Structures are given as C-alpha cells and as structure tokens.
C-alpha cells in the first residue's frame, strides 16, 4: 500500500470547506481551519479550490485531498470535472485528487480523469454514490473509493450516512473513505467500524453557519 494511504489509514480527514461566499470563505481562514484540524488530530485534509489549496499546503504537512467544484450548465457533475482542474490541483500541492465517480453525463470521461491524475503523480479518489460506480472506479485503478456522493444524485437527502455502501465497498476490497453526513464523533467511529479505512467529516467541523443553525433550530423546539 502507498505510504500516503498508510498515513491516513484509520484516521479522520477534515474537509475544510466553508460555506460558499460566507464570512469564512477565504484562503487564510481555510488554512487556519486546516492547521487547527491537524492540531486536533486530523490525519489528512480535504480542500476545495486551487487558491485554498496553495494556502493550506504552506500551513500543514499531512496529506491533502484536493478538489475543484464547478457548477456546469450541461452536467450535474460538480467535483473536479476538468483535466485542467487536476493539473492545477497537483501544481498547488495536492497529494490525492478526488473526482466525481458517478455514472452521470460529464465533460471528461472518468478514464481520462484517472489517467491525468496518475500523469501528474497523485493518488486518485473517486466520489461515488453507489456500489456499482465504486466497483467500476476500483477496476479503473482508483486508490480510494468514497461514499461521498451517496444521497446526492437525486431525491431527498437521507439523514443518516450510507453505512451499507461502506460495508459493500470494503467487502469488494476497496480502500474505502466513509464520507457524507458523519456529523458526530460517534457516527464517524461507526464508519470505521462498518469497514471504512478513513472517514471524512466536513460540515460538522468547518461549516460554522450550518453547525450554529443545528443548535439554534433545536433550541427553538424547546421554546414551543
């Protein structure tokens, strides 16, 4: 197994993605979030955006998973849709590059994406929504398969994380990233217990507006 995978194995990845255009959405603040996350025990960091990644690379030594999110007019794929994004993330210092691994219309094929990630010398992670996609990405040579997109490809977003997908991907021999809705320490632990090799937590660590609203909304219920 690659050294990088060994470094993050059975660890927490802190996804430092502030709410878009919110008061915490700046490279300096994202770098501070990343530094604080490492102090708290994160073994890796997930970062969106090339400028954020450059700032975080200077601030931490742990492995960084880089992504670029784009809203495209003709494709639902948002996570690292273009080959230029892969090149820019690698240049900015990403160790691992994640791309959307779903089976949906996309500007660049998944085969082209993994070829480019390998060319730039990074490990490849696929953000999948179901087992079939995960197995396909595993076959293509992705180093990490994540449950990231489960619940986000249509219909109502579930409350719970997708443990079944984590279990199934583990059984199939993937290096599994539990990701998506692991909003408490106990849920994150359950991901590892279900078979994840790492777990990524984002909203519950770094989207302060969301975290505060969870508390505020709950407190409102007591006043009724």
β pairing state of 144-146 and 123-127: parallel
Taking a C-beta distance cutoff of 8 angstroms, is the pair 197, 175 a contact?
Answer: yes
Q: Which residue in 8, 15, 64, 122 binds ligand LRY (CB under 6 A)?
A: 15
Residues 192-211 interacting with ligand LRY (rule: CB under 6 A):
200-204
Nearer to ligand LRY by Cβ, of 133 and 179: the residue is: 179
CB 95, min distance to ligand LRY, A: 16
Kindly state whether residue 77 participates in binding ligand LRY, applying the rule CB under 6 A.
no
| Rounded distance between C-alpha atoms, residue 196 and residue 187, angstroms | 12
**Mapping DSSP to helix (H, G, I), strand (E, B) and coil, where does residue 100 land?**
strand
Window of 36-44, 50-58, 132-140, 178-186 that interacts with ligand LRY by CB under 6 A:
178-186
Quickly count: other Cβ atoms within 10 Å of residue 190's Cβ: 18
Window of 1-9, 30-38, 137-145, 147-155 that interacts with ligand LRY by CB under 6 A:
147-155
Kindly state whether residue 63 participates in binding ligand LRY, applying the rule CB under 6 A.
no
Nearer to ligand LRY by Cβ, of 3 and 73: the residue is: 73
Kindly state whether residue 133 participates in binding ligand LRY, applying the rule CB under 6 A.
no
CB 67, min distance to ligand LRY, A: 6
Catalogue the E-assigned strands of 32-175: 44-48, 64-67, 96-100, 123-127, 144-146
Burial of 20 per CB tally in 10 Å (0-12, 13-18, 19+): exposed
Q: Is the dihedral of CA 127, 129, 134, 140 positive or negative?
A: negative
Nearer to ligand LRY by Cβ, of 103 and 224: the residue is: 103
Residue whose Cβ sits closest to ligand LRY: 202
Kindly state whether residue 67 participates in binding ligand LRY, applying the rule CB under 6 A.
yes
Q: How far is CA 83 from the centre of its chain?
A: 18
Give the chain's count of helices (H) and strands (E): 10, 8
Nearer to ligand LRY by Cβ, of 113 and 222: the residue is: 113
Among 119, 117, 111, 109, CA closest to 86: 117
Q: Which residue in 179, 188, 194, 199 binds ligand LRY (CB under 6 A)?
A: 179
Kindly state whether residue 65 participates in binding ligand LRY, applying the rule CB under 6 A.
no
Residues 148-167 interacting with ligand LRY (rule: CB under 6 A):
148-149, 152
Taking a C-beta distance cutoff of 8 angstroms, is the pair 191, 161 a contact?
Answer: yes
Give the interface with ligand LRY as residue ranges (CB under 6 A). 15, 17, 67, 148-149, 152, 179-182, 200-204
């Amino acid at each position: 197994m690659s050294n990088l995978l060994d470094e993050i194995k059975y660890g927490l990845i802190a996804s430092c993605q502030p709410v878009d255009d919110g008061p915490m959405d700046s490279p300096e603040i994202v770098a501070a979030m990343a530094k604080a996350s490492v102090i708290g025990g994160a073994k890796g960091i997930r970062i969106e955006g090339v400028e954020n990644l450059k700032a975080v690379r200077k601030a931490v030594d742990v492995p960084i998973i880089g992504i670029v999110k784009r809203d495209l007019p003709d494709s639902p794929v948002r996570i690292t849709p273009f080959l230029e994004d892969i090149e820019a993330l690698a240049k900015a210092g990403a160790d691992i590059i994640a791309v959307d691994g779903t089976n949906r219309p996309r500007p660049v094929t998944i085969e082209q994406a993994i070829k480019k990630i390998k060319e730039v010398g990074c490990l490849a992670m696929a953000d999948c929504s179901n087992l079939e996609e995960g197995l396909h990405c595993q076959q293509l040579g992705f180093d990490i398969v994540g449950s990231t997109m489960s619940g986000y490809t249509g219909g109502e977003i579930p409350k719970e994380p997708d443990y079944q997908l984590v279990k199934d991907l583990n059984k199939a021999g993937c290096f599994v990233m539990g990701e998506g809705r692991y909003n408490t320490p106990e849920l994150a632990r359950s991901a590892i217990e279900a078979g994840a090799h790492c777990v990524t937590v984002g909203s519950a660590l770094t989207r302060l507006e969301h975290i505060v609203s969870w508390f505020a909304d709950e407190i409102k219920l007591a006043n009724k």
